[in-house]
A and B are shown apart, each in its own frame.
Chain A
């Protein structure tokens, strides 16, 4: 039985969960950059946010138990799992930074500031995570 695919999927879930968690804790609760609801968001934005918020913590919980299951079976492929984690983190952040913030006009990263540097930083970090995930995935495939 190969743990490659399951490790990768578990990592992706963990990455999405972690991105949603950091978003909630750091940007909503600690920095107060994000507003609970800025009343300018579109309805589609609210629905998309609701689904991703709920999916985020459900993904986090599943990732923890999947990780424990992989360890228990001795089939955890660490590189594949890390690749998944980076892909999940970057993918969620890029979706949040482009589709949710821009297309659906759901809340901004920060209010009353010049937004462009924040948007660029946000999406560049997302892209870096995606690249790191892709590199790790290639290495994990090579090692298999």
Chain B
């Protein structure tokens, strides 16, 4: 089953590269950095699903896989802006269907940053503070389901915070930063509490628990800072465009002829 998922991710990456190539051949710009980021995200998903985690201390290995799936991969995939690319590259009929999905009220509600942050955070608390982790321990299917859920909730959260795709309406920077702050704080608190108290029903060794919880804490910090930088950069770039327009208008007001020529 893991192999099927791995192949599905590989097909997504191939589709992405194909779509980007299609855009480029027809003369549209699509940055290589986005393509690289999306493919790196796919590689992280495959690596997290198939790495030999059994060789690691169990809790630390589990945490490394979940950090990769729930935080690192979503960040890299979201930076690739796959929905925007699909909307540009798809033929008319599927494009219209996708646009309908993306612009739907349900999508807007799901992508509302506080809701996405709540889903992301509640998933983690449910996993580590209820007997769920102990229950899925020796059930590969259930464990895979948890992994997929972490990836999806991470994707929802990252897409909501970055708001780089053309959804119904884009939420303001402050609300997205607030959601990021709340989710990061909750993540840090959970990581610290895991240092002292293992998830119910599990019997990890203390050193394993300590290493895993610190990995969660600092790993969460790093991805959180990366998200914050992307968010702040969006804000800075938007401010730059607004400033540029203001200055151009001011210039246009002084010299109407020049503005008319330029437009």
Q: Is the CB of B236 within 8 A of A65?
A: yes
A55 partner residues in chain B, CB cutoff 8 A: 181, 185
Partner of A65 from the list B180, B192, B235 (CB cut-off 8 Å) is: B235
Among A54-71, those with CB < 8 Å from B are: 54-55, 57-58, 61-62, 64-65, 68-69
Partner of A53 from the list B180, B188, B193, B236 (CB cut-off 8 Å) is: B188
How many Å from the CB of B137 to the closest CB on chain A?
A: 25
Chain A: CB-nearest residue to B217? A36
How many Å from the CB of B15 to the closest CB on chain A?
A: 33
Q: Is the CB of B225 within 8 A of A50?
A: no
Q: Is the CB of B140 closer than 8 A to any CB of chain A?
A: no
Q: Is the CB of B249 closer than 8 A to any CB of chain A?
A: no
Q: How many A residues touch B, CB cutoff 8 Å?
A: 21
Among B167-217, those with CB < 8 Å from A are: 177, 180-181, 184-189, 192-193, 195-196, 210, 213-214, 217
Q: Is the CB of B239 closer than 8 A to any CB of chain A?
A: yes
Q: Is the CB of B62 closer than 8 A to any CB of chain A?
A: no
B228 partner residues in chain A, CB cutoff 8 A: 57-58, 61-62
In whole angstroms, how far apart are the Cα atoms of A62 and B181 in the complex?
12
Q: Is the CB of A36 within 8 A of B181?
A: no
How many Å from the CB of B237 to the closest CB on chain A?
A: 10
Chain B: CB-nearest residue to A68? B236
The answer to whether residues A37 and B195 also contact, given A65-B233, A73-B243 and a CB cut-off of 8 A, is yes
Ranked nearest first, the 10 interchain pairs of A and B with the lowest CB-CB distance are: A50-B189, A54-B184, A65-B232, A54-B185, A50-B188, A61-B228, A50-B185, A51-B185, A37-B195, A37-B192
Known pairs A50-B185, A58-B177, A65-B233. 16 more at Cβ < 8 A? A36-B210, A39-B196, A46-B189, A47-B189, A51-B185, A53-B221, A54-B181, A54-B184, A54-B185, A54-B188, A57-B221, A57-B228, A58-B224, A61-B225, A62-B232, A72-B239
What are 14 pairs between A and B in contact, CB < 8 Å?
A: A36-B192, A36-B210, A36-B214, A36-B217, A37-B195, A39-B195, A47-B189, A49-B188, A49-B192, A50-B192, A54-B185, A61-B232, A62-B228, A73-B243
Binding site for B on A (CB under 8 A): 36-37, 39, 46-47, 49-51, 53-55, 57-58, 61-62, 64-65, 68-69, 72-73
